[in-house]
Structure 1
């Protein structure tokens, strides 16, 4: 097992380090997204990621796009695994340069350069305008905002639910969409 796993990761490193020809760059990106998704599925099936009902901590982050679109793979009912995407504009607002939980917050209108990063939790960090039109750094713990409801990302008590989406791909028409 260790030899095959080492070979698998060595090949991924080889794929990551080579420079693809322009005609195959799209294929390389699609393959990378597929490998990421399949690895996440493997982790769930192997039981390495604990299931967590109604809790985003049982999900694996697999993408963040356009300052607001969060993608993850979560455990669903009956041992299903679901990849979904949630628009955080439905969940978060900018209040004087601070990110807060809010229905239809549309923080993306006054915040930019956002990223979702995991350290000890999953944090959304943005540059947001305060009431004096100054840009300040704002951070919000997404584990307090986002839930896993039946395998789908959700916020505000299930008022806003994610849609099924292929993990790790933006929805701009240049990649495979959906399932």
Structure 2
């Protein structure tokens, strides 16, 4: 089981930090750039072969990752704000783009992710949005949490008048 202890200390990326990784079709890390290794605090050996969820912060709604998987498995790019957990329990917010990698025949062979420093106003708003969604998820039995979180995201998008998560997220970029 992955340690989910948190310190409450936030690592703020610099504008020059670009975190890059690749995974197989199951989300297992196959490549991590030096910036990912440095910021996450995990060694290259600890990252390669581990599920990308090794970085999942417990304050991130499960429904967000469900939405991401629906988008990327459908062959589209996902854009979002993610609060990651470093090995020591610190957290770091990123603006992320996850895209499918395809072979010559168009079949998805894995995923690439590029993450960078988000605007602070986005972190402020999405921290609150995610806290609300996590509360919705935690009010449900575990087997209903993902669906409840996904439904909460859809309601939030409708409230904001956004057609999709990408449309809303891109307003902050």
TM-score past 0.5 threshold: no
Q: Which has the larger radius of gyration?
A: 1
TM-score (norm 1): 0.25
TM-score, normalisation: structure 2: 0.26
More strand, by proportion: 1
Greater RCO between the two (CA within 8 Å, min separation 6)? 2
